[in-house]
Chain A
Amino acid sequence: MKVEVSRRRFLQGSIALTIAGGYAMSPSEILASAKAKASESGQAGRKKIATLCEMCVNKCAAFAYVEDGVVTKLDPNPYFPKSRNMLCPRGNAGVQALYDPDRLKYPLIRDGEKGSGKFKRVSWDEAYKYIGDKLAQILDEEHDNRSTVAFCAGEGVAEHTFKNFFTGFGSSHFLNHASLCLATTVSGYALTIGGYGSADLVNADYVIMAGANRAEAIVTPDTMDFFKRTIGRGAKLITVDPRFTNTAAKSDKWIPLKVGTDLAFVLALTYVAINEEIYNKQFVATSFNNFEAYKNHILSSGYTPEWAQKITGIPAQDIYEVARTFMSHAPRAIYYQGRRTTWSKNDFQLRRAQALFSALGGGVDVKGGICFGKNLPLIGHDVPSPIYDNAKSRIDKNEAAVVGGSGSWVGFRNMILEGRNPYPIRALFNYKHNPMSNMPNSRKTAEFLKKLDLVVTIDTMPSDTVMLSDVILPECTYLERTDPVKSFGGIEPAIAQRNKVVEPLFETKAVIDIMRGLTKNISKQLFAVTKKYDTEVQDAIEKDGEESVYGDFDLTKAFYESQEELNHHAVANYPDAVQALEEKGVYYPDMDKYFKKLNVNNYEYYPESKKAYSVKNGKLATPSGKVECKIDSLVSKGIDAMPLWKDEYLKEIPDGKFNFITGRHAQFTQSGSSNNKLLLSLVPTNYAWINKRVATKRGIKFGDLIEVSSKVGKTTIRAYPTEKIGQDTLFFVHGFGNASSDLTLAHDNGGNDANILEDIIEPMHGATCLHETIVEIRKV
């Protein structure tokens, strides 16, 4: 007798029996509506559909299994070289995000004080009309200064779609995760070696991972390559982190250093390499610009390991050893770029110093080093980008030396709170982003959101930011939509596409459909305001007639076609791509020929000879075509031309207090997955890492509740006493302790770091500094 336990049963069993903020919805109702949608659209039976994961920023390829319209399982999709046939714990938990009973289901408009959490359900048209009227009123009052409306977005495949709306709208204010995440390392490497590149971990023989926790902060393909193909094949891995992370556990050496002192460490490594002349002389001779100046600076500043030992707490001997072994393995040696580099005020210089040290070994644009790889271009899609004469430039442009297209989020917010904005900022469109949790000092973010006349948030979950919005537009989850096809450059480039797996549940829509509906409703109305205040437009209308001029300002144009049509167009240059993308989710030229299954676990994407290790022919994408040691153009903006250590970087940690640091673990994505039932069954909450001896002295045991407080706020969290962290440091995983009571599982679960982090920014891009906060603790 064989009893096959059907998967269906699980769905009924495992979806939380909860009620989302006022809109009662039981699990069986969710599934019933999923099945009804399926029969409507003829989706009965079992299907396997290629998609891309969006549980985090990595976009791994997946196959979704659908049974009678219900997604039962996500499997890794082997075709994608970036994700190499894997799905991480969060990727596997995507089904729970789709069927989360708490998810947003209908458009909502605030119906009470801001922050009261009271909303009323409206139709999409009512929501659009509300937004249109509000915007028209604001723009009228602001004389068509489009920049009074700001736009912000989190990273995602469809961020681009939202950005098309921003472009058409004509504001100067776009803000995204860059200044909260990776701005400094991307520009640090780009300005120094011509690109952030990708680390060829498959072929590197020596890797320094400083403040990058690839075992837990998963970045593909690095995470897979690191552990299987570095130590697995005998490469050396050095981890530099004030905590003993899972990455450290997989390393040959772990170097704990004082928080925020990496720059001294890298400068000392550089000192050893230059002083002992063990760097790659040939590469330096051909590919360095201004090396002599850098050499003199390093040597004359006395950045010896003995000097660095005092600052970093790393024994000088270790610094000598690391520098020497690094150079002996060069050019197959990498100082890993890192990703979230919002640490401290010297972030930009630190990344420059890393890039320079890495380049001293010659590991740039070569196998086993930092590679730039190849790109598979897509055909662009024309979107109108009208010019509004009255739109003013960014308010935050002087908050830092170089404020790029993604702004200085914290700088921007603080200017408004401090009344330093030269003109009013009245509204915010927010796509797939949760600044309440992800920007330091959440009290200020709340104040900022409350100050605005209109906050429109497009999200899938009732996040803390959603709760402080005026209009909530529910997007469907990534499993319910086709998103823009995307090209992934690199050593093994590929194009990948997210295909819709099931029809959107409830009244949710894909962002492109939201944008289509919204622009249809408000485009003319907003143009009327422009016509009223914009003299250029008035002149043009006089000359060419209104219809013709409106054509340039027609916001709906960007969203005429369906996503599927846009995607077909984007890959029109590649024969068979459309079909491959639909069936396999992935395409690259000669995939049929190249793609091979080597064994149960391993696949080959490109033959060795076709991998794009070296593409630059000795000419890097910097102004001089060489590694830039000295960037004089920045000096006038107050940025040092060469990385140097300043005593002000040293911070005192008063006795009994702690330097707070933040970060990831493998089971959650920032704040975005905090309500995921499957993930919570793996790790129910976050814990504060506190040194065991310190905890014992303070009478704190495992699981005890402690209050962590700083100058700006406090939070409560359970303690995890451990020797994996030093006596003056406190850490907990980011993303927990959400305030939104509509997140049944995440509400008030664990500690919220956004509450206690001070909002300090660094001078280069105005990126935030998340590791500068000093905290105290108290047992509660």
Chain B
Amino acid sequence: MNEFSIKSLITFRKTPLNLLVAVIGATLLASFVAGAVYFFLHGHHAFNVTRQHPWGLLISMYVFFVVSSTGLCIISSIGHVFGIQEFQQIGKRAIAGAIITLLSGFAVISLEIGHPIRMIIYNVLTPGLTSAIWWMGTLYGVYMVFIMIEFFFLAVKVSHKWSKIFGIGGLLAGLAAHSNLGAVFGFLISRPSANGVFYPVYFILSAMITGCYLIYIFYGFRYRNEYPAHVIPMLKKLNKILGMLLGVLIFFEAWKIITALYGSMPERAETILHVIQSPTFIFGEVFLGMLIPFLIILLSNAEAIKPMVYASLTGMVGIFFMRYDLVHDTLIYPMDTLKRSDYQLPPGFIDYFPSLAEFAIGFGGIGIAIFLFYIAEKVFNLDDNGHY
């Protein structure tokens, strides 16, 4: 732990980059608060979700955050759970990141769930054991406890043994929770485009990718792109891992699309055909999220570090679109294609665009994450302290 005081909390080196991040963080944090207040005043009217499209940006952002958390947890475990030397150094920073992004996700989802307190009560009193949401929620609870204890043994009362034990526990809980989050979509028999094994596996895969991107961003920010010697091999290895993961993801997505289109199964084929024509998919997911980082890795023979920091930024934007599309694409096909009244057009693909309050809360979550990181950096020494 660092020595810290209120004074140390509000002082930081006023570099342009730091200032920029501070302004962005503060703005987002304020927007979260404003969105939350608006939501408390207006209830669900504040959101653009509807009967036909009941989930929106907030669910996407929740998924975005918990995917980040799981991803960081998995990547960090490469070092301190599986003992790969170069990766041990990222343990603390990654676990802190996992906790922070998880908390941000919880903050966002607590404003999406209508009755969060009731959830805590009835989750225990009348558990819905066939519900993927129940498992996902409960396992994320366990996961949070594990990684918090793990962090305690990493950063406060350093114990390699205990941190490893809780690290393993956290990793298992995180993997289980996260694949259950995939199952929240995969279990939807009502939505042929989402139903099946794809999402639980895809979630783990994309979590690992997210973890890699975030590690690049963290290190890039921490070292201002001037890396000490002990960091470089790790980041290069990460290059290879990420390249492989992206390759698998591209392969995966391609087959998902091909199988969905093959045979023109109604609903599923129409949905996917619509999806792959949408700009959020083409530019967001494919271009920003997969191709740019993948090409850089490919072209640099997995040696690029600085470019990968920037590519990770586009990668995270791409990951955001993946989360957004995941929710939106699942709900886009109307469950009833008949009109509800003579005087309307037949239902087509369902439109949804987030409301201002949803943007404020959803992206406001990033403000929470930045803020918590800032505190964490001040309070704890997140760098490797050579204890391994």
What residues make up the interface of A, taking CB atoms closer than 8 Å to B?
Answer: 682-683, 687, 702, 720
A702 contacts which chain B residues (CB < 8 A)?
344-345
A702 to B343 CA separation, bound complex (whole angstroms): 9
Bound CA–CA A683/B340 (angstroms): 10
Question: Separation in Å of the B313 CB from the closest CB of chain A?
Answer: 42
- List which B320-379 residues lie within 8 A (CB) of chain A: 341-345
- Complex Cα distance, B344 from A720, in Å, reads 8
Write the B235-256 contact mask toward A (1 if CB under 8 angstroms, else 0).
Answer: 0000000000000000000000
Residues of B close to A720: CB separation below 8 A: 342-343
Q: How far is the CA of A683 from the CA of B341 in the complex (A)?
A: 8
A733 to chain B, nearest CB (A): 10
- A682 pairs with B341, CB closer than 8 A: yes
Q: Which of B342, B344, B345 has the most CB of A within 10 A?
A: B342
Contacts of B344 in A (CB 8 A): 702
For residue B345, which residues in chain A have a CB less than 8 angstroms away from its CB? 702
A-B contact list, 8 entries, CB within 8 Å: A682-B341, A683-B341, A683-B343, A687-B343, A702-B344, A702-B345, A720-B342, A720-B343
Distance from A184 Cβ to chain B, minimum over Cβ atoms (Å): 29
Whole-angstrom CA separation of A720 from B341 in the bound complex: 12
> Quick one: closest B residue to A216, CB to CB?
B342
How far is the CB of B338 from the nearest CB of chain A, in Å? 14
Q: Within the complex, what minimum Cβ distance (angstroms) separates A70 from chain B?
A: 27
Nearest CB of B to A199, in Å: 27
- Nearest to A682 among chain B residues (CB) is B341
How far apart are B68's CB and chain A's nearest CB, in angstroms?
38
Which B-chain residue is minimally distant from A685 (CB atoms)? B343
Note all chain B residues with C-beta closer than 8 A to A683.
Answer: 341, 343
A687 vs B345: C-alpha distance in the bound complex, in angstroms?
Answer: 13
CB B347 to nearest CB in A, in angstroms, measures 13
- What CA separation (Å) do A250 and B344 show in the bound complex? 21
A23 to B350, CA, bound (A): 43
Q: Bound complex: CA of A720 vs CA of B342, how far in Å?
A: 9
Closest beta carbon of chain B to A522's beta carbon, Å: 48
Number of A-B pairs whose CB atoms are under 8 Å?
8
8 A Cβ contacts from B255-291 to A? none
Please, how many angstroms separate the alpha-carbon atoms of A702 and B342 in the complex? 12
> Whole-angstrom distance between the alpha carbons of A682 and B344 in the complex?
12
* Chain A residue nearest to B345 in the complex (CB): A702
- What count of chain B residues pass the 8 Å CB interface test? 5
> Nearest CB to that of A687 among chain B residues?
B343
Cα distance, A370 to B249, chains bound together (Å): 75
Q: Which partner residue on chain A sits nearest B344 by CB separation? A: A702
Q: When chains A and B are docked, how far (Å) is the Cα of A687 from the Cα of B344? A: 10
How far apart sit A646 and B200, CA to CA, in the bound complex (Å)?
77
Closest B residue to A246 using CB positions: B342
Tell me the bound Cα distance from A556 to B344 in angstroms.
54
Q: How far is the CB of B45 from chain A (nearest CB, A)?
A: 14
Further contacts, 5 of them, CB under 8 A, given A683-B343, A702-B344, A720-B343: A682-B341, A683-B341, A687-B343, A702-B345, A720-B342
Kindly state the separation between the CA atoms of A683 and B343 in the bound complex, as whole angstroms.
8
Docked pose: A741 CA to B341 CA in angstroms:
27
Residue of B with least CB distance to A722:
B342
Would you give the shortest CB distance from B191 to chain A, in whole angstroms? 28
Q: Which residue of B lies closest to A721 (CB)?
A: B345
Measured CB to CB, the closest approach of chain B to A686, in angstroms, equals 8
In order of increasing CB-CB distance, the 7 nearest A-B pairs are A687-B343, A702-B345, A720-B343, A683-B341, A683-B343, A682-B341, A720-B342
The answer for the CA separation of A377 and B345 in the assembled complex, in Å, is: 52
Inter-chain contacts of B342 with A (CB < 8 A): 720
Residues on the B chain within 8 Å of A687, using CB: 343
Complex Cα–Cα for A682 and B341 (A): 8
How far, in angstroms, from A545 to B342 measured CA to CA in the complex?
69
Output the least CB separation between B202 and chain A (Å): 39
> Residue of B at shortest CB range from A724?
B342
**In the complex, A683→B345 CA distance in Å?**
14
Q: Which residues from chain A contact B341 at a C-beta distance below 8 Å?
A: 682-683
Alpha-carbon distance A687/B341, docked complex (angstroms): 12
With both chains docked as a complex, state the minimum distance between the C-beta of B128 and any C-beta of chain A, in angstroms: 15
- In the bound complex, what is the Cα–Cα distance between A741 and B117 (angstroms)? 46
- Quote the shortest CB–CB distance from B261 to chain A (angstroms): 31
Name the B residues within 8 Å of A682 (CB-CB).
341
Complex Cα spacing A548 to B344, Å: 68
**In chain B, residues 137-169, which have Cβ atoms closer than 8 Å to a Cβ of chain A?**
none
Q: How far is the CB of B51 from chain A (nearest CB, A)?
A: 14
Give the distance to chain B from A283, nearest Cβ to Cβ, in Å: 42
Closest A residue to B341 by CB, please name it.
Answer: A683
Give the distance to chain B from A501, nearest Cβ to Cβ, in Å.
31
Please encode chain B, from 300 to 334, with 1 for each CB lying within 8 Å of some chain A CB and 0 for all others.
00000000000000000000000000000000000
When distances are taken between beta carbons in the complex, the residues of chain A under 8 Å from B343 are 683, 687, 720
Nearest CB of chain B from residue A419's CB, rounded to whole Å: 44
* Chain A residue at smallest Cβ distance from B340: A682
C-alpha gap A702/B344 in the complex (Å): 8
Instruction: Report the separation of the CA atoms of residues A23 and B341 in the bound assembly, to the nearest whole angstrom.
Output: 35
How far, in angstroms, from A577 to B24 measured CA to CA in the complex? Answer: 82
**Contacts of B202-249 to chain A: CB distance below 8 A:** none
State A554–B182 Cα separation when bound (angstroms): 85
CB proximity of B269 to chain A, nearest CB, Å: 27
Tell me the smallest distance from the CB of B344 to a CB of chain A, in Å. 8
| Residues 104-141 of B at the A interface (beta carbon under 8 Å) | none
B341, B342, B343, B344: residue with the most chain A Cβ atoms closer than 10 Å: B343
Minimum distance in angstroms from A695 CB to a CB of chain B: 13
Q: A702 to B348, alpha carbons, bound, how many Å? A: 14
**Minimum Cβ distance to chain B for residue A117 (Å):** 30
**Shortest beta-carbon distance from A585 to chain B in Å:** 33
Give the distance to chain B from A500, nearest Cβ to Cβ, in Å.
35
Q: How far is the CB of A708 from chain B (nearest CB, A)?
A: 16
Chain B residue at minimal CB-CB distance from A720 = B343
A751 to chain B, nearest CB (A): 13
A687–B342 alpha-carbon span in the complex (Å): 10
A683 to B342, CA, bound (A): 9
CA distance A321 to B22 in the complex (A): 84
What's the nearest-Cβ distance from chain A to residue B283, in Å?
29
Question: Closest Cβ of chain B: how far from A2's Cβ, in Å?
Answer: 14
Interchain CA distance A720-B343 in the complex, whole Å:
7
Q: Determine how close the nearest CB of chain A comes to the CB of B44; give it in whole angstroms.
A: 15
Whose C-beta in chain A lies nearest to the C-beta of B126? A1
* Closest chain A CB from B339 CB (angstroms): 11
Whole-angstrom CA separation of A153 from B311 in the bound complex? 79
Q: Chain A's nearest CB lies how many Å from the CB of B357? A: 23
Nearest-neighbor residue (CB-CB) of B343 within chain A: A687
CB distance from B341 to the nearest CB of A (A): 6
In the bound complex, CA of A720 to CA of B345 (Å)? 9
| B352–chain A nearest beta-carbon distance, Å | 19
- Expressed in whole angstroms, the Cα–Cα distance for A682 and B342 within the complex equals 11
Q: CA–CA, A687 to B343, complex, Å? A: 7
Nearest B residue to A718, CB-CB: B343
Output the least CB separation between A682 and chain B (Å): 7
Complex alpha-carbon distance, A640 and B221, angstroms:
98
